[in-house]
A and B are shown apart, each in its own frame.
Chain A
Amino acid sequence: MSDTPFEALAQLDRRLHEPARLAILAALSACERADFLFLLHITGLAQAQLSAQLANLEEAGLVEIEKRFVDKKTQTLARLSNSGRQQLDGYWKEMEELREGAAAWRRQPPEPAPA
């Protein structure tokens, strides 16, 4: 653990540590898979932004995308990959350590001012 939690904060995986992607991953972690329409509603992202973020996550290997035809329409389904679940788990643990580190850092007595 670094002297302050700020260095660790700067080293967080940016593929996960981004509000839009984190919202998507949080939703997918609570289900087997979800379709595009649901992710649009639960994250509140614009359609284009959600598409772009899902593509980024798929490219990073965190998410698997499946397309199928339902009622003559294309339905996009997303699910967390096994690697994605493990990386997300690791991310939560990192955040927990950061929280504890920040709490410990705040409890430290301030260094006396130099004479």
Chain B
Amino acid sequence: MTARDLDRIRFVTRHFTGLQGLRFAVPLGLITLSGGGTTYFTNRWFLLLRAALFAGGVLLALAASRYYRRTFGEVDTLGLAPVEAPESLSIYSPGGAATLLAAPPRETLALRRSLLLGGLALAAYVVLRSLAPAVGFEADESLVEAPWHSLRAGVFYFLPLQEPSLTPTMVKALFGQALYALCGALALGTWFARGRRFSQVHYLALGLPLLALAAVGASLGRFIGVGDDPAWITWILPALVHLWVALLLCGLALIVAGLLDHRQLVRALRRPGPAAAAR
């Protein structure tokens, strides 16, 4: 048995609840996807799809909880406060010393951290947006066209003389960009919270592009209005303006992250353990 085996054991145990991707991230991703195209309700099949996604997310969350408990057992996680004497940590104590300090349960700490991160991300988005020239958007807000048709309809963007009014297009654009900031920050925060491990790098890979979309959306005014607009703006504009695209991207990111977490958990708990191999 190596230190790496022990490190893996401690990591999987410590993050057992968080790695249950089918219980949290995937259902949340499905529910997020179901929110896309909310104003397009004339197509019955599309409505059924959205309802199925929502119901599927809820049912999966309930079923997955039972699945993980029956298949892999239960772990009562604990709140591990920062060790008072980090210099006493041994490299053979992967993830930290075994000594515990009294702290709230890990789930409470995780929720607090998520709320704090989300709040900071939204605040940063608002600040970034206020520092750049305001950009107005106008797009097709038809209630009878499918959402994906709006990609062909084109988006008009302009630097308004005043702060642009909150038209439906603007509200959706702002909400979508804020969603990128929120999801990106949570993904990045998860990667940091899990020790910036290589096995969790998918959170970094998913979080950075979402944060970049939020940053570009907030500071778009810096890139337009001075000479010819860069060509990449036309390419990225649908993601910045259409809320359903934001819901699609964030939902897919959650689903991918959840599936990868689940895969890691299953692989860690199904293969012969180091203790068995050492016999």
Binding site for B on A (CB under 8 A): 19-20, 22-24, 26-46, 49, 75, 77, 80, 85-86, 88-89, 92-93, 95-96, 99
Subset of 13 A-B contacts with CB under 8 Å: A20-B275, A22-B6, A26-B9, A31-B13, A31-B77, A37-B72, A37-B73, A38-B269, A42-B268, A44-B277, A45-B275, A92-B93, A93-B90
Inter-chain CA distance A85–B98, complex, in Å, is 6
Inter-chain CA distance A43–B276, complex, in Å, is 7
Chain B residues with a Cβ closer than 8 Å to the other chain, count: 39
B44 lies within 8 A of chain A by Cβ: no
CB distance from B17 to the nearest CB of A (A): 10
Partner pick for B273 among A28, A29, A43, A75, CB 8 A cutoff:
A43
The closest CB in chain A to the CB of B11 belongs to A30
Chain A residue contacts of B279, Cβ below 8 A: 19-20, 49
CB distance from B114 to the nearest CB of A (A): 21
- CB distance B269 to A41 under 8 Å? yes
* Secondary structure class of chain A's binding surface, majority of residues: helix
Q: A43-B276, A45-B275, A85-B98 are in contact. Are A34 and B72 (CB under 8 A)?
A: no
Inter-chain CA distance A26–B93, complex, in Å, is 9
Query: For chains A and B in complex, what number of residue pairs have CB atoms within 8 angstroms?
Result: 123
- CB distance A23 to B1 under 8 Å? yes
B161 lies within 8 A of chain A by Cβ: no
Chain A residue contacts of B195, Cβ below 8 A: none
Q: A30-B10, A88-B98 are in contact. Are A23 and B78 (CB under 8 A)?
A: no
- CB distance B99 to A85 under 8 Å? yes
Partner pick for B270 among A41, A77, A85, CB 8 A cutoff:
A41
- CB distance B73 to A26 under 8 Å? no
Inter-chain CA distance A29–B93, complex, in Å, is 10
Q: Which of B16, B91, B97, B98 neighbours the largest number of chain A CB atoms within 10 Å of its CB?
A: B98
Partner pick for A42 among B1, B13, B74, B78, CB 8 A cutoff:
B13
Q: Which of B75-120 contact A (CB under 8 A)?
A: 75-78, 88, 90-93, 95, 97-100
Contact bitstring B246-277, A, C-beta under 8 A = 1, else 0: 00000000000000000000001111111111
Partner pick for B275 among A35, A36, A44, A95, CB 8 A cutoff:
A44
CB distance from A69 to the nearest CB of B (A): 14
The 8 A-B residue pairs with the shortest CB-CB distance in the complex, in nearest-first order: A44-B273, A38-B73, A37-B73, A19-B278, A96-B90, A92-B93, A41-B269, A44-B276
Partner pick for A31 among B5, B16, B274, B278, CB 8 A cutoff:
B16
Q: Which of B129-168 contact A (CB under 8 A)?
A: none
Inter-chain CA distance A95–B3, complex, in Å, is 11
- CB distance A32 to B78 under 8 Å? yes
Inter-chain CA distance A24–B10, complex, in Å, is 10
Q: A26-B9, A41-B270 are in contact. Are A31 and B275 (CB under 8 A)?
A: no
Inter-chain CA distance A86–B270, complex, in Å, is 30
- CB distance B98 to A27 under 8 Å? no
